[in-house]
Structures are given as structure tokens and as C-alpha cells.
Amino acid sequence: MNTYRKTAIIVGILFLVCSAATFLSFPFFGSILEGKDYLSKLFDSENMVITGALIEFIQAAAAAGIAIGLYSILKKYNGALALGAVGFRVVECVFVLIGTLSLLSLLTLSQEFIAAGAPDASSFQTSGTLLLAVRDWSGNVISALAFGLGALMYYVVLYKSKLIPRWLSGWGVLGIVMGLAATLVGTYTHDFSTASVNTLLNVPIGLQEMVFAVWLIVKGFNPSAIAALSARTSG
């Protein structure tokens, strides 16, 4: 199996892992963070929250791995955009982990909250609100923008290089543009709920990444595009 084929399979698997982790992490703490009694619910769900945090760590590592894996081949077509994609997706990874750290800090806060009792509740609620804000802004805005910009860069290179069918890379470009628009809308409306326009606009890129992952695993990169590059570099 050649190097490009191995890279395609690895990146395809990382796409599946990243997407699966994104969806799997929410059930572990999504509803727990809603409502005014979230500190009490966090205290009662310690193991679920820790499991969700570990899944988020896997999501962040896979996201960075996607761009790093693609860099090995995309740099041959456009080094600047390939490197930019790695940079932005690493930034995405960092801010996902900041959100995860905020979640674990909330878990510790919930334990102190229960131990302190009702008289000191207001100060804990204030601290909790700040940690929730850090998690929301880092995850829903900063990391989402970094993901969008990084993914846009490698989809542009994929489109120009024809390493995958243009309908697939073009779908990726369109989906990312819609996702970036969704992030901007959510930033100004402060609405990132599952029933919001933010979720609706992110559906196309979510579906595209699943198709892209399967394509890479089954088909790999276009041999003709790779052969054309080899001919240019050796000529």
C-alpha cells in the first residue's frame, strides 16, 4: 500500500472519530449544563461529565490529526494553505480543550458548592456563570471559526488539485462557508441551541465530512492528480 493510500485511510478514520466524538460527548453533559440547578446536576453526574471530557479530548486530538495528515500531501500543491489549515485546526484543538478544562473546573466548583451549602450559593453561581461563558465562547465561537477557516483552506487546495472529485471538495467549500455564517449568526444572537439556525446551517458540512471520510477510506486520493504532480516535479 503506497504512502498516499495510507494517508487517505488514516485521515478518513480521523474524520469519523472526530465526528463521532462530537456527537457522543453531548449526551454526557449537554442537558446537565442547562437550567439554574446545573451545579447540583454536575455534582450528581461526576462520572458522566468526566467521560464526556475524555471524549472531547479525543475529538480535539482527531481534529488536529486531520489537518496534520492532509498536510503531508497538500503541501505539494499549496504549502501556504496546507500549513494554514494545520495552524487553524490546532487553534481549534486548543480552544476545545479550554472548553473541556472549563467543564472540569465546573465539576470541581459543583463539589465545593454542595459542601458549602445554601448560604454561599450566590458566589458559586457567579463563578459557574463565568466558567460556562468561557466554555460557550471558546467552543461555539473561537474553535468553530478556527475549524471553519482551517477546513476552508484544505478544501480549496483539494478542489484545485482534484485529489478528490470536485463535487465533493466543492460541497466542502460551500458547507464551510455556511458553517462560518452560522457561527457569526450564533455569535450575535447568542443562540447555539440544537433548534437554532446555527445547527441548520452546519448540517451540510456535517454530512459532507461523513461522505468525505468514507470516500478517503474506500477510494483514496485521485491517482491521476498524484501522477500529474509527480510528472511536474520530476520534469
Answer whether 121's CB lies under 8 Å from 113's CB.
Answer: yes
pLDDT at residue 172, as a whole number: 96
What is the pLDDT tens value at each position of the chain, 235 positions in all? 477 889 999 999 999 999 999 888 777 776 788 777 888 888 888 888 899 899 999 999 999 999 999 999 999 999 999 999 999 999 999 999 999 999 999 989 888 888 776 556 677 888 888 998 899 899 889 999 999 999 999 999 999 999 999 999 999 999 999 999 989 988 888 777 666 677 788 899 999 999 999 999 999 999 888 877 666 655 5
Cα(53)–Cα(96) distance, integer angstroms: 10
Task: Please state, in angstroms and rounded to a whole number, the distance separating the CA atoms of residues 117 and 75.
Answer: 57
Cα angle 229-231-235, degrees, rounded to a multiple of 5:
125
* Tens digit of each residue's pLDDT (9 = 90 or more) over 209-226: 999 999 999 999 998 888
Residue 181 has a pLDDT of: 92
- Boundaries of every domain in the chain: 3-234
- Residue 9 CA to residue 2 CA, distance in Å, equals 11
What are 155-159's contacts with CB under 8 Å, separation 24+? 156/78, 156/81, 157/74, 157/77, 157/78, 157/81, 157/82, 157/85, 158/74
Q: In sequence order, which residues have a C-beta less than 8 Å from that of residue 38 and are 6 or more positions away?
A: 32, 106, 128, 132
